[in-house]
Amino acid sequence: MTEEQRNFTIADALGEPAPEITILDIGAMPTGTERYHALVSQGCAKVYGVEPSAAALQEVPMEERDRFITHFLGDGRPATFYETRFPGCSSLLEPNAEMINLFQTIGAEPETGNFAVMETSAEETIRLDDLDMLPDIDFISVDTQGSELDILKNGCNVLSKALVLESEVEFVPLYKNQPLFGHLHVALSERGFVMHKLIDIVGRAFRPFRGQDLFKPVSQMLWADAIFIRDFTALEKFSDLDLIKAATILNDVYLSHDLALFFLMRHDERKGTNHAAAYLRKYIEVQPTHIHYGNFKGIA
């Protein structure tokens, strides 16, 4: 058994199907296997997506496409979209060339830079709370190149039901006037979320320093994915089903075995179930060795 295989699902542990998890993917441009694939592969995830690029959404399977919409999310006011050479760097914020050009492998130089602006366009934005196609959302993933905070501040109703939220965060302003990790952390704390962990941390060497691998960080963190959890000290805000859903997301997606067990124990206390013991038996049987915590990502 490889280290990658040394995982198990909540459904495996409890011997019953996983609950349906509703997922909202903001910035849903397909880029390979999604983080929440472990839920989708079990057939327990219903994914809704918002993505500005209609062309990108053509890659979404036809049977799911009615749950994906093309919109620019924001504060509901007009905005400028900056289309960059590398589509994944495009944003409603202007790239900050002065900062970007300090680092290896990223750049805003007009001739070659992946952050170089190729075209701008005037766009209308819509508030997240004004989308009328969304059910109650359990799990939010947002990656919109710097506008994450603006989107979430205008989505308080959607956020109010969410159990887990993953957001890309930056530690230096790669875009002009960009809110950084600290701003998002404070805003989500005010809305009842606790910072859980950072994963897939990305850094680069300052130019002209060149290590053996230009994509490896030397000292400077640039961005990462931050995982936030509905405040686990306010359990009165979790329904019985919420406890199982939270445990499912945390175990199956993030390998947060300790917090998954915490939620299962709380469910046992309420309902007289024996989920925690079943979970521990499965954990001992599989003996997972891999953790997803504070890891550095190579090529990004």
pLDDT tens-digit map of 244-275: 999 999 999 999 999 999 999 999 999 999 99
**Residue-wise pLDDT tens digits, 202-215:** 999 999 999 889 99
Confidence of residue 5 (pLDDT cuts 50, 70, 90): low
What pTM does this model have?
A: 0.94
Tokens at 210, concatenated: 């060149």
Give the mean model confidence (pLDDT) for residues 220-235: 97
Supply the Cα-derived Rg of the chain in whole angstroms. 20
Averaged pLDDT score across all residues of the chain: 93
Asked whether the beta carbons of 159 and 140 are under 8 A apart, the reply is yes
Domains of the chain: 19-258 (3.40.50)
Please give the DSSP secondary-structure letter assigned to residue 220.
E
**Residue-wise pLDDT tens digits, 151-206:** 999 999 999 999 999 999 999 999 999 999 999 999 999 999 999 999 999 999 99
Which of 177, 168, 77 is CA-nearest to residue 127?
77
- Gap between the Cα atoms of 113 and 116, Å rounded: 5
Whether 94 shows a pLDDT value over 90: the answer reads yes
Look at 36-40, 121-125, 198-202, 296-300 and tell me which has the smallest mean pLDDT: 296-300
Give the mean model confidence (pLDDT) for residues 287-296: 90
Please give the DSSP secondary-structure letter assigned to residue 89.
G
- pLDDT at position 300 is 43
In the chain, what's the furthest Cα-to-Cα distance? 65
Asked whether the beta carbons of 172 and 62 are under 8 A apart, the reply is no
Cβ contacts of 10 within 8 Å, gap of 6 or more: 18, 244, 247, 248, 251, 252, 260, 279
